[in-house]
Structure 1
């Protein structure tokens, strides 16, 4: 059986402990990252949509870094949106600033009706570099 290892970024441990999930799980050379949201330091949603999206990517970056990964190691990207039609422009602005050159990760965008007060969430699967 393949072993799995929980990965946590520095800080935010109370959030993961309270809701009983790992920020990410390493299994072999793959990293499965739980959904990341654009929360402020106190855990509340950032009200500005573009800033909320940016914070979600910043939180994702911290989880990836804890496993020795970067955005370049992402294979599969799934985003969740409470109002995709009106939010897609802001999402694309932030996403295009992060993923500037091909090959881009796979991407699935899903419209949802509830994200616990947030408007955007992102989860990924990444390949951990061989040197890790």
Structure 2
């Protein structure tokens, strides 16, 4: 059985240390990425929703890259939304720019009432490509 390995992006933000969690855990050829939000380097939320969503995807991309992955390696997505109906169009527009061509990953979207000051969070499971 393989050991789990913590993965962090090069320019990790303060939230990992403030809340004591890993950006991702590698277990075998799977990468389990913690929820990524649109946080600035100091851990504060990006105030404008579209910019916050883009930053969440950028933060996710940085974690994937640190593990040798891209969005093409993502197999499962869970996203959390504080106002799903109002946010759906914006999230889908950013998603279209980032996710790429089919086959698309599984995706579950969940409406929530609290994300610690954020309005969008995204977590994924990816398969790490053979090197």
Normalised by the shorter chain, which TM-score bucket?
over 0.9
1:20-59 equivalences under 5 Å are 20-59=20-59
Structure 1 residue 101: Cα displacement: 1.2
How far apart are the structure 1 equivalents of 2:85 and 2:74?
A: 25
Q: Shift of residue 100 of structure 1? A: 3.0
**Would you say the 8 A contact 2:13–2:41 is kept in 1?**
no
Please say if 1:7 is aligned against 2:7.
yes
Of the structure 1 ranges 12-21 and 117-126, higher mean CA displacement relative to structure 2 is found in: 12-21
Bigger Cα displacement from structure 2, 33-42 vs 67-76: 33-42
Hey, what's the Cα distance between the residues in 1 that align with 2:12 and 2:41? 9
Count residues in correspondence: 131
Residues 57-96 of structure 1: pairs in structure 2 closer than 5 A: 57-96=57-96
Name segments (4+ residues, structure 1) moved above 2 Å.
Answer: 11-15
Specify the SS of the correspondent of 1:60.
Answer: helix
Q: Structure 2: 5+ residue runs without aligned partners? A: none
> Which blocks of at least 5 consecutive residues in structure 1 are unaligned?
none
Distance (Å, rounded) in 2 between the aligned partners of 1:13 and 1:38 = 10
CA positional deviation for 1:13? 5.5
When the two structures are superposed, what TM-score results if normalisation uses the length of structure 2? 0.96
TM-score computed with the length of structure 1 as normaliser = 0.95
SS in 2 for 1:118: coil
Is the 2:13–2:40 contact (alpha carbons within 8 Å) kept by the matching residues of 1? Answer: no
Cα RMSD of the aligned pairs, angstroms, is 1.1
Q: Structure 1 CA distance, aligned partners of 2:68 and 2:92? A: 26
